[in-house]
Chain A
């Protein structure tokens, strides 16, 4: 689909919601109401739920949900194929966040298909490349230790609020050049947008974000600094400055992407570690030599999100006929549990042969923050285990998962001696 990012228009294909809006070409026997992201079975233990999909569901099925009907794909092989063929599985209009149709914009670069998306990635990729993020290592270590200082003597902390959230969010705000004192406000907007599962509340959150970011961009235009908001506001690929709509859509997308994902990832991992002291021991022993393997395997086991696409043509896979305009979600955590690729998928095994994991999706839209996320997980593990080598879940702690498109527990209260 040709796309003009400077003159965005809302997508024309319809959103289908609920059982009475299942298109006629969907075979009855492939219709499911899986409850993914909100059902009680999912929320009780989302990762086990997604691993079990390989036994309970066909590889491709049509999910009917109050959040929108779409095809779900759960095989690793199908995700690699689909996500690497943007001419079939397009990103245009595939991002679920509501926008004002009278002031429409694209989320950049995620909604931009090749070849145009590279223009945008080239602006920020150097900052987020493995080398680029290494410059942040000292800062991240310091922030991690400052946080640990603030609670270590208590012998307890509520991990998500006291470490899981402030570490990645404060690092992200440093990178963007946004003020630290807005941290909690930003997070609350992101929570509404990603976890309210309510289109009206999502819309209200989007309004607050829009208002704030437009001011922030104007400020950076007037007073350039080293942050990524300023970098984007002043970018001029091939000598042509980005338009206001492009700048806003780009900054807004990074803002949403940066506030919630590493947070959820750390929360998942620390909950697991608190319940598995033998693994903590193994990590501590192997950390000096195998930290990259350890991080990669933990990211496979505790992936937090999904990739949405829209069919840009009629397409048949595994005998299932899908039609142009159908929405598709690749269930990335389920793909990471595909037993054909990762035998005993729920087992955390740092010695697995290296395979492509889908924690950061694949294809041209692979997560640009993936290197930063890896570095943050690595540093968090190293600094935490150095200082708090043994810890467990608080006695009687009840774990509840947050509904929505980024998967993680609400609260993880830890104790140690």
Chain B
């Protein structure tokens, strides 16, 4: 199963198995990783699963997948950067095995 590295704002790295087809937000929430709230559950309604895709992965992951994601990112509480994404919109594929994402200090 592909793995994702969830790196918190202090630099602590937690590696988790995330099944292909599942999204990166669920991978965090279901496994109790703090740093991703994902409170709307992936409805593109809350901007609390904000993450920064590691520079080494931005090309593979790409930018926001829809206008809605782009708009909603503007509501994120932490600084929005060029590598910002909503993790509920990143779907795991075999290609993304080893993906590294960085989480902001707070989602609120």
Residues of A within 8 A of B (CB): 80-81, 84, 115, 118, 122, 125, 128-131, 292-293, 296, 353-357, 360, 362-364, 366, 368, 370-371, 374
What chain A residues lie within 8 Å of B40 (beta carbons)? 356, 360, 362, 366, 370
CB proximity of A134 to chain B, nearest CB, Å? 11
Which of B21, B39, B68, B72 sits near A362, CB closer than 8 Å?
Answer: B39
A-B contact pairs, 28 of them (CB 8 A): A80-B108, A81-B108, A84-B39, A84-B108, A115-B32, A118-B32, A122-B30, A125-B41, A129-B41, A129-B42, A130-B43, A131-B21, A296-B45, A354-B44, A354-B45, A355-B75, A356-B45, A356-B47, A357-B45, A364-B37, A364-B39, A366-B40, A366-B41, A370-B41, A370-B43, A371-B41, A371-B43, A374-B43
Chain B contact residues: over half helix, strand or loop, or mixed?
A: loop
Q: Is B71 an interface residue (CB 8 A)?
A: yes
Asked if residues A368 and B43 are in contact (CB atoms below 8 Å), the reply is no
Residue-wise, chain B 33-61 has the 8 Å CB interface mask toward A (1 for contact) of 00001011111111100000000000000
What chain A residues lie within 8 Å of B3 (beta carbons)? none
Known pairs A130-B43, A292-B44; list 13 more (Cβ under 8 Å): A125-B41, A129-B42, A293-B68, A353-B74, A354-B45, A354-B71, A364-B37, A366-B39, A366-B41, A368-B41, A370-B40, A370-B41, A370-B43
Question: Which one of A129, A296, A357 has the greatest number of beta carbons of chain B within 10 Å?
Answer: A129
What chain B residues lie within 8 Å of A118 (beta carbons)? 29, 32
CB proximity of B35 to chain A, nearest CB, Å? 14
What chain B residues lie within 8 Å of A355 (beta carbons)? 75
Cα distance A131–B21 when bound, in Å? 10
Asked if residues B42 and A371 are in contact (CB atoms below 8 Å), the reply is yes
CB proximity of A81 to chain B, nearest CB, Å? 8
Cα distance A356–B46 when bound, in Å? 5
What chain A residues lie within 8 Å of B71 (beta carbons)? 353-354
Closest to A121 in B: B29
Q: Is B26 an interface residue (CB 8 A)?
A: yes
Asked if residues B43 and A363 are in contact (CB atoms below 8 Å), the reply is no
Asked if residues A130 and B42 are in contact (CB atoms below 8 Å), the reply is yes
Residues of B within 8 A of A (CB): 21, 26, 29-30, 32, 37, 39-47, 68, 71-72, 74-75, 108
Closest to A362 in B: B39
Cα distance A354–B75 when bound, in Å? 8
What chain B residues lie within 8 Å of A353 (beta carbons)? 71, 74
What chain A residues lie within 8 Å of B29 (beta carbons)? 118, 125
Asked if residues B30 and A292 are in contact (CB atoms below 8 Å), the reply is no
What chain A residues lie within 8 Å of B108 (beta carbons)? 80-81, 84
Closest to B39 in A: A366
What chain A residues lie within 8 Å of B75 (beta carbons)? 354-356
Asked if residues B41 and A363 are in contact (CB atoms below 8 Å), the reply is no
- With A80-B108, A84-B108, A129-B26 as given contacts, are A354 and B68 in contact (CB-CB < 8 Å)? yes
Cα distance A81–B37 when bound, in Å? 14
Cα distance A95–B46 when bound, in Å? 24
Which of B21, B30, B42, B72 sits near A354, CB closer than 8 Å?
Answer: B72
What chain B residues lie within 8 Å of A296 (beta carbons)? 45
Cα distance A239–B36 when bound, in Å? 25
CB proximity of B93 to chain A, nearest CB, Å? 15
Which of B32, B41, B46 sits near A130, CB closer than 8 Å?
Answer: B41
CB proximity of B44 to chain A, nearest CB, Å? 8
Cα distance A357–B42 when bound, in Å? 14
Asked if residues A125 and B47 are in contact (CB atoms below 8 Å), the reply is no
What chain A residues lie within 8 Å of B72 (beta carbons)? 354
What chain B residues lie within 8 Å of A84 (beta carbons)? 39, 108
9 closest cross-chain pairs (CB), A and B:
A354-B71, A366-B39, A130-B42, A354-B72, A84-B108, A356-B46, A122-B30, A366-B40, A362-B39
Question: Which one of A81, A292, A356, A368 has the greatest number of beta carbons of chain B within 10 Å?
Answer: A356
Cα distance A360–B46 when bound, in Å? 11
Cα distance A130–B68 when bound, in Å? 15
Asked if residues B46 and A362 are in contact (CB atoms below 8 Å), the reply is yes
CB proximity of A354 to chain B, nearest CB, Å? 4
What chain A residues lie within 8 Å of B39 (beta carbons)? 84, 362-364, 366
What chain A residues lie within 8 Å of B21 (beta carbons)? 131
Cα distance A353–B30 when bound, in Å? 30
Cα distance A131–B22 when bound, in Å? 9
What chain B residues lie within 8 Å of A130 (beta carbons)? 41-43
